[in-house]
Amino acid sequence: MKRVAAVAVAAASVLAVAGCSSSGDGKNKGGESRGNPGVTKEERERADAEARERAKDTAAMKDAAVRYVKAYVAHDVRTMCSLMTPNRRGGDGSFDGCVKHFEELGDGKPGSEVTVSVEGSPVDVSPIGTHPQGTGLMVKQTTADGAGASVRRQAMRMLKTDGAWLVDQKVTVRDEDMSAGNPVRNVLMRSPE
């Protein structure tokens, strides 16, 4: 019994020296967190709100890229042009000019069953040619047909314009590009199309 009491006293001493306690709310008198000295509850809440906004913004960017590719596959020219920057639309950069250009290319039939998704995380992309600094994404397009499935990847430069994410550059990613350290950045920086 004496041994158990000695161990308990030793453990309590260690906890007291380390500053551990089973009581309290984890804060100092000033409202600062003990786990992160100098950070108030308000600062922590503000940082959490900013993180939620960034996540929402990233989700909106990915959604715009996926909708663009789906519109392209479905030959939905109006939706596709609405998701492009004036630079990407070409010509005079207008929506109507873009629609006319793509309608003149032909109205082929939409492809078979296609699944579109974003792979990896967004990356910052430096300016090149007529393309300003933006955010790069890897968009994967999987087409199912009778023989199996084919995969096509595209690197896309996304720009936020007037609160909306738009496609400014789109470049096909080849199989050999995938071995690069950052295929999205490499492809978008080598090809100013």
Instruction: Provide, rounded to the nearest whole percent, the portion of the chain with pLDDT above 90.
Output: 48
d(CA 117, CA 168): 18
pLDDT digits 0-9 by tens, 74-98: 888 999 999 999 989 888 889 999 9
Closest CA to 116 of 143, 149, 90, 87: 143
Burial annotation 90-108 (CB, 10 A radius, 16+ → b, else e): eeeeeeeebbeebeeeeee
Task: pLDDT band for 143, please (50, 70, 90 cuts).
Answer: confident
Q: 33 pLDDT exceeds 50?
A: no
Q: 178 pLDDT exceeds 60?
A: yes
Under 8 Å CB-to-CB from 114, ≥6 apart: which residues? 70, 73, 141, 142, 143, 144
Measured CA distances, 108 to 50, 73, 111, 156 (Å): 44, 10, 9, 23
pTM equals: 0.74
Coil, strand or helix at 105: coil
Share the mean pLDDT of the chain.
81
Mean pLDDT of 50-69: 94
Mean pLDDT of 141-148: 79
Measured CA distances, 28 to 39, 42, 75, 175 (Å): 11, 14, 61, 56
| Least confident window among 19-23, 122-126, 144-148 | 19-23
**CA 22 to the chain's CA centroid:** 41
Q: 9 pLDDT exceeds 80?
A: no
| Least confident window among 30-34, 112-116, 163-167, 175-179 | 30-34
Task: pLDDT band for 6, please (50, 70, 90 cuts).
Answer: very low
What confidence score (pLDDT) does residue 10 get?
44
What confidence score (pLDDT) does residue 38 get?
82
Coil, strand or helix at 7: helix
